[in-house]
Amino acid sequence: MSSGTGATATTTTSTTAHPNSKSKPRILMFHGGGVSASIFTIQTRKVLWKLRPYFEFVFLDAPWVSPPGPGVLPVFADAGPFYRWARLHENEDANKLKDKLSAVLSKPGGEWVGVLGFSQGGRLAAGLCWQQQHGPDGLDMLAPGLEFKFAALVGAAWPLLLTVQDAPMAGQRESSKWDEKYEASISMPSVHCIGKRDAVAEMARLMARCFDKEQAKMLEPNIGHQMPLDDRENSELCDAILEAYKKGGGVLEEFPA
C-alpha cells in the first residue's frame, strides 16, 4: 500500500530497486502495540512529509493480532485488525517475528539505514540495535550484512525486546529493574523523543541509557504517549533524524518526488 507520503506498507507492496538507478535509503518503521502499519502511517504523517525527499519508509504489521492499544479507540475503531510485537499465548509461533522481519529486510531496494519505533515498536527497534552489536552474528539471521546506522525511538520504555529468535510473551517482560550491563551498550547515533506528559517517560529515559550518550539526541516535547504533531516539535524530531543519519556515515541526498 502506497500512502502518497513516501511510505510503503509491506502488507501489500514490495520495494524493488530499479535497474541502473539509485534507490532511496530505507528506514524500517515499527508501530506501537495494538496498532497496525496503516495506522502508524497516519500517526507519522508529518515525519513522512518532511523526510520523504531523503528516505523511503517501510511499514509492516506485527505478526500477532492484538486488542486495540491505548488511544486507538474511538478514532481508529474501524481500522482493525490491530497487531503486537510480543506474544500473548505460549502456542503462538515465536518464529513468526523473525520470519516476518527477514522477509521484509531481504527485499531488494535501497540500503537499510535506520529504524524508527514507537512504544512497543521502539522496544523492538532498540533490541535489534543491541543484537546488531552484541549478537554472535549481528543481524545476519534476518538479512546478510544488515547493519543499521541509527535508531529513532519515540515513547519507547525500558526494557528492550532483545531477541527475534524467541519472541517474548506479553506480560512476561524482562525485569523493569535497570541492568548496568546495558549502560551505553549500543554505540550508534540515536534519537530519543520522550513526551513530558508521557506516563512511561521515566522508563523511556532508562531505555535511552542503553545508547552511547555522546551520540544520543534527547527530545522532550510537551506531549503524552504519542508521536509529536506540533509543527515545531515534529521539525525537531525530523532534524534530529537527519543529523543521526549523517553521524552514522550517511550522505544526505534529496531524491526527486
One digit per residue, the tens of pLDDT, for the chain of length 257 reads 444 555 665 543 333 333 334 899 999 999 999 999 999 999 999 999 999 999 999 999 999 999 999 889 999 999 999 999 988 788 888 889 999 999 999 999 999 999 999 999 999 999 999 999 998 889 998 999 999 999 999 999 999 987 666 666 655 445 678 999 999 999 999 999 999 999 999 999 999 999 999 999 999 999 999 999 999 999 999 999 999 999 999 999 999 97
pLDDT of residue 7: 66
pTM: 0.90
What's the pLDDT at 22? 84
pLDDT of residue 15: 35
Cα–Cα distance between 29 and 37 in angstroms, integer?
A: 8
Q: What is the structure's pLDDT at 20?
A: 34
Q: CA-to-CA distance for 70 and 218, rounded, in angstroms?
A: 24
pLDDT for 9 equals: 58
Cα 147 to Cα 1, 108, 142, 215, 244, distances in angstroms: 26, 15, 11, 17, 15
Domains in the chain, please, with CATH? Answer: 7-247 (3.40.50.1820)
- Residue of 184, 55, 58, 176 lying closest to 121 (CA atoms): 58
DSSP code at position 18? P
pLDDT of residue 149: 98
Cβ-contact 225, 200 below 8 angstroms: yes
Note the pLDDT of residue 136: 84
Amino acid identity, position 13:
T
pLDDT of residue 257: 79
